[in-house]
Structure formats: C-alpha cells, structure tokens
Amino acid sequence: MKLPGLIINLVKQNVLIGGVLAIIVLLTFLRSVRSTLTTAVAIPISVIGTFIFLSLAGRSLNVVSLAGISFAVGMLVDNSIVVLENIDRHRKMGKSAFNAALEGAKEVWGAVFASTATTVAVFLPVIFMAEEAGQLFRDIAIAITFSIIISLLVSVSVIPTLIHLLYRKDKKRGGNALQKSIVGPVIARGIMAVSAFCLKNVFTRIGTIVFFTALSVTLVVWLRPSAEYLPQGNRNLILNILIPPPGYSVDKMEEIGTYIYKEAEPYFQEDFKDGVPRIKQMFFVGADRITIFGGISEHETRAKEMMPLFTRIMNSIPGFFGVSIQAGIFESGIGKGRTVEVNISGQQVTDIVAAGRMLYGAISEKIPDAQIRPVPSLETSYPEIRIIPDKEMLAASGLTERDLGTYVDILMDGRTIDEYRPEGIKQIDLVLKGGTEEFDTPESILSATIVNGFGDLIKVDDVADMVYSESMPQISHLERKRNVTLQVTPSKELPLQQAMEIIETDVVASLQAAGKLDGLEISIGGNADKLVETGRALQWNLLLALLITYLLLAALFENFLYPFIILFTVPLAAAGGFVGLELVNMLIAPQGFDILAMLGFIILIGTVVNNAILIVHQSLNNVRYHALEGLDAISDAVRTRIRPIFMSATTSLLAMTPLVVSTGSGSELYRGLGSILLGGLALSTMFTLFVIPALLAFVIRFERSRSHESA
C-alpha cells in the first residue's frame, strides 16, 4: 500500500480509537449509559456534518482534514459535557427533566458559545495564510471549525431534548448506587483545599500568580527546541544524487549504472543482508545534467536503512561523489527536502567556484554529518564547445548575435516558442526544432543550413566559428548574477534552524569578516528560507488570534478586564506544549518542532481558554444572579465546574492520544501537533484551577448583583 493510503488508514483508525476512548471516559464519569449515549451522540453528528460542509466548501477528505477531525474528536463533546453536567446538577436539585434541561442549558449557553466562538476565531488568520504551509493549515482549520460549530448546535438543541425524552418518566432524581463516586469527591476536595489556600489573602494570590507564571516562562525558555520546516515523513524512497567527473560519455554512464545494479543485486535476493532490508525496486538515470539512482524497500517503513548500502556503492565508484537522502513527503524537487541552500552569486565564475569550494569545506567541518550537493557544480573542467559569431559576416547577412544563438538552440535541442492550452487538456509546449538530420560531431553543426535576414539560405560556418574550451555544465543565475548553490542536508539529529544558524554565523560570517568572500553575495534559501518566512507569518497569526480572541471575549463579557484574565491561560498552555513535545521525544520517538507542530499553539489559544471561561462565567453568574459575593462566588464556581472541566479535558486528552503514541508510517506528520495539544491542555487544566481564581479575585469585587434586571 502506498504511503498516503497508509496514513489515511492510520488516521481513520485513530479517529475510531479516540472516539471509543472518549465514550469510555464519559461512561466512567457519568456512570450512566443513557447520559453517556446522550453526550456521545455529538461525535457522529459533528463528524458526519463536517463531511457535508467540507464537500460544500469544495474541500477534499484527505490526510490533513482527517487529522483535523481526529484532533477535534475529543473537543466535540466538550460543549455537550458542560450542558449535560449542568442539566444533571439541576436535576439533583429536584427539578423535573424538562425544567432541568431548559434551565441547565440556558445557564451555560453563554459559556459554551464563548468557548466555541474563541475556538473558531483563532482559525480565521490560519485559513487566510498565503505561505506554502498555509494549504496544510487550511484543511485542518476548516475541518476543526465546522466540527466545533456543529457540536455547539448539538449541545444546546439535541442534548437537552434527549435528556428530557430519556428522563421525563424518571421520578427519582438523585444518583443511584453506581453513580456515587468515591475517588471524585476526594480529588475535588484536594483541589478545593489548594484553591482555598491560593485565594486566602492578597499575598497567597500574588504568590500563586508569580509562581505559576515563573514556572511556565522557565519551562518555555528551557524546553523550546530549534525549529524545522515541514515534517519529512518516512517515505519509502531513497534518492542518491551522483556528481560524476567531467567528460563522461553515454556509454560510460551506462557502465556505471550496470555496476551499481550488480553491487545491489544480492540485496534483492536476501532480506536484511548485512542489516539492509530487501530492495524491492531500483532505478538509474544518467543524463548530461543529473546522474541519480535510487530504490524502494520491501518494508514500507524501513527504507532509511538502505542508505548505508547506497552510500558505500557511491563511494566505491572512482571519481564520483554524491549524497544519499530519503525523499520527503512534501519535497518540491529532487534533493530539496530538508535543505539549507547557500547561494553564492557574483560576476566571475572562477571566483564563485573558488568561494563555493571554500564554503563546502567550512560547512563540512562545522556540520560533519551534513550531506552537501553543489548545484550545478564546483568543477569548471567540463568540455565545452563555443560558437563564436563573426560580427561582420552577421551584419552583412542581416542577422544579430541573438538570432544566431536562437538558430543554434533550435538546431541542438529545440526551442519553446509558445504554449498551446486546449480546453480540458494539460498545457502543451510548442517546440521548434531543426531538421531530422543528426549531428554526429560538433563540427557538423557548422554545416547546418539557416536563413539569413534577407531570406537566403546560408551555412552556420558562414557567420560563425567554433572553439573548444572548458567550463561548468550549466550556468545558473540569481537576481541577474551568476550563481552556484550548495544544498546542505543536515542529519536528522540537527534541526534545520540550528543548521542555518551555524552556516550563517560560524561559517559565512567568519569568512566574510576575513575578507575571503569579497565581491560575492552569499544568501540563504531553500526550505531554511521558507522556515523563516512561515515562522514570521505564524507569529503574526498568533498575535492576531490573541487579538481576535480578546475582542470577542470583551464583547461577550461586556468587560475589558476579564478577557485578560482568561487569556492568562495561554502562556500556561505554551509551557505544557513544550513539556508534551519533550516527553514524546524521550518516550515515544524523535519529533522535530516543525511548522505543523507550531500550529498547535494557535489551536491551544482557542481551546485552553474554555476552562477559564467556565470559571469566570460561573463566578459572574454567582455575583450577578445568585446573591454571592467576592471569594465565595469564585470558590463556588471552581467547585461547580471541577467536574465538567476534568470530563472535557480527559475526553480531549484521550481522544488525541492515539495520534501521539502511534508509531505507524505517517504518524510522525501529526505527532508533534498532537503532543503540543496534549501537553498544553493537561498542564493548563491544572494551572487554570489555581491561577484564574487568584487573578479573578482582584477584579470581581467591582461586580454588582443584577437580580433585579432578570426579574
């Protein structure tokens, strides 16, 4: 099965496992089959509804959107949990099923709407990202947005209705023996005891805020890793790019291909010979501008283990050197996966090549395990034939030097003169070529017939001469200057950002300071450059998401201070995100801090504020409508909301866990994102119960009762 199919199966499997785990959590907390099924119904309704909206939006159901749904599975029941738990609380007060459903849903409607609105709002900047990674983000954002919106509608319509239908004939409103928890009250009492200590006086409140904030900042500074661009994946394809000596003929290239196949032939027959997994297929391409061979393994997830064999074969070919790399899932060109491109630009080819050799050696010394490929080459002794125009004869024939160049180009390889775009068919290049005769020798080009400016037939040698010389296989240009690129692929142990910093600071800057690169321009490009651009875009999107969330909360709470308190959970979550990433690296598998993982912090903004919203919303309700004041209102809110907070957090955590702990092919794509969400949600859930009440205590004293307004 191909890798995309493996990844889709993996994600589908994780969606199912996550959904089952979420239902088990609900059953554990609620201890009621009816209540569990009532809440769990939000999952299939939201997921199937998301499929419909994705279709209407013109989006495909792919690996990325499925992963978004998988991450959302745990969040789909959050709103339903809050509504159901509050309805259950009202039923235990002795109210009928109808009144409990109506009043319970009405009481928390503002909180669940605010939670959903903030989650949706943070994705708005992501949807409109223009960078290359924006396409990946967009599908995740759209999938999660649709599923969360549907879950809100389910929580305030389907859940109360089902509770009324299932419990309207149930006269007994208290919990049965099975529903009486022993562990829950003990945990709740412990949390309330710590919360009471944090709220005891001004000093304990300030101490709580300072301690948890300092701890969060310390964790972020200590654990923040260097960044990667896009995840490489574990694609079953190894590419080996060879750089041959100048002047090799086609026959010689064919001989090299035969030698490579013979060296690899025993590894087609025996599995794990010398520790190398069996080779399934190989290919070889020997062309004038690129020589490459590669292979795929019988074992889909173990292709990387073939690299030592291919490297040994390359090194055994006299005069050749090259690089062996595993092709990335998001690779846009041969050898352009996880690379830092060092561009050396100038006017003189000799100076550029000399600088390129110097940089090649310096980078190899600073990053020993890096694979470096010069493009097009650092060798200037490739045989070259130059057609030298005779300016006087050209002028007499009514031709220019550009005309002669065009003629020679057409005679040799053909020249694209236009494009043909028939409707419903892929674009076709219109290529003008010379006659059918073949040029067996370079001199035969001089005998080719062309037309002069007056319509007469002449020979090429009437207006030009031929000279043999040496040069590079091709001359590349960057910003109208001649250019050679060093494609540096660091080892997986060295993050791309760190490799880029080493090259910029320790290599290029030191050589420039020594005056060894004078007259040349050195720039960093490739995926390293894209990493910088996308990182900046994500930073602005993060700030924009925070601003949108703040303004939305300010409008919902009719206050400019409460949103600041709620958003205080974000740095707490950031610390948890880095803790989660570090734990995955230690316990499960190496995981880079790539662009997809960074998206987790934007998602966290919209999710970790939900618990803070519940506490703040309930505290304000207690003051405004339930005749409680100050610390009493806050303590009651914490006690009332402990159960739904832990229920929603646990379902979210367990539903996302399969994508994090899974080690199948393709799991590395979303493991970083999942680990950040898991760590952020887990740590912020605990911190929120202590920090938010401590902050809220300083401003809730200004709230006044609104009971007369409701009356």
Rounded Cα gap, residues 43 and 53, in angstroms? 15
Contact between 587 and 668 (Cβ < 8 Å): no
Span 236-326 CATH architecture? 2-Layer Sandwich (3.30)
Structure confidence by residue, pLDDT tens digits, 488-534: 888 888 888 888 889 988 999 888 888 888 888 988 887 777 788 88
Question: Which part of the chain has CATH 3.30.2090.10?
Answer: 382-471
CATH superfamily name and code, 3-223+559-710: Multidrug efflux transporter AcrB transmembrane domain (1.20.1640.10)
The pair phi, psi for residue 284, each rounded to 5°, is -145, 135
Average pLDDT, stretch 429-438?
Answer: 75
Conformation bin of residue 414: beta by default, left when phi > 0, alpha when psi is -120 to 50: left
Q: Cα 667 to the chain's mean position, in Å?
A: 13
The residue type of 445 is I
Residue 89 clears pLDDT 90, i.e. is over it? no
Q: What is the pLDDT of residue 52?
A: 86
Q: How many Å is the Cα radius of gyration of the chain?
A: 33
Residue 581 amino acid letter: L
What is the rounded average pLDDT of the residues 197-203?
Answer: 90
When mean pLDDT is compared across 277-286, 371-380, 630-639, the lowest value belongs to 371-380
265 or 328, which is more confident? 265
Long-range contacts: 458-463, Cβ < 8 Å, 24+? 458/397, 460/387, 460/404, 460/407, 460/408, 460/411, 462/393, 462/397, 463/389, 463/390, 463/393, 463/394, 463/397, 463/399, 463/404
User: Predicted confidence band at 6 (pLDDT cuts at 50, 70, 90)?
Assistant: low
pLDDT class for 679, splitting at 50, 70, 90? Answer: very high
Q: What residues contact residue 442 under an 8 Å CB cut-off, 6+ apart?
A: 385, 466
Q: How far is CA 435 from the centre of its chain?
A: 51
Question: What residue type is assigned to position 711 of the chain?
Answer: A
pLDDT digits (tens, 9 = 90+) for 344-382: 998 888 888 889 899 989 999 899 888 888 888 887 777
Q: Other CB atoms closer than 10 Å to residue 57's CB: what's the count? A: 11
Nearest to 488 by CA among 372, 378, 376: 372
Q: Is the distance from CB of 301 to CB of 490 less than 8 angstroms?
A: no
What would the mean pLDDT of 602-619 be, rounded to a whole number?
86
Structure confidence at residue 647 (pLDDT): 83
Whether the predicted pLDDT of 203 surpasses 90? yes
CA distance 649 to 645: 6
* Contact in structure between 102 and 160 (CB atoms under 8 Å): yes
Q: Is the pLDDT of residue 659 over 80?
A: no
Computed over every residue of the chain, the mean pLDDT equals 83
- Please tell me the distance from the alpha carbon of residue 76 to that of residue 352, in angstroms, as a whole number: 58
Position 206 scores a pLDDT of: 93
3-state per-residue secondary structure call for 79-132: HHHHHHHHHHHHHCCCCCHHHHHHHHHHHHHHHHHHHHHHHHHCCHHHHCCCCC
Decide: pTM greater than 0.85: no
Across 230-244, 306-320, 402-416, which has the greatest mean pLDDT?
A: 306-320
- Write the DSSP string, 430-478: EEE---S---SSTHHHHT-EEE-TTS-EEEGGGTEEEEEEEE-S--EEE
Q: What is the DSSP letter of 703?
A: -
Q: Say how many residues make up the chain.
A: 711
Out of 1.10.10.10, 3.30.2090.10, 3.40.50.300, 3.40.50.1820, the CATH code matching 382-471 is: 3.30.2090.10
Average pLDDT over every residue of 463-487: 84
Return the higher-pLDDT residue of 346 and 66: 346
Residues of the chain with CATH 1.20.1640.10: 3-223+559-710
Confidence of residue 680 (pLDDT cuts 50, 70, 90): very high
C-alpha to C-alpha distance for 220 and 578, rounded to whole angstroms: 7
Helices (H), 327-463: 349-366, 391-396, 401-412, 443-446
> CA torsion angle for 134, 137, 139, 144 (degrees, to 10)?
-150
Give CATH 3.30.70.1430 domain extents, the chain.
236-326
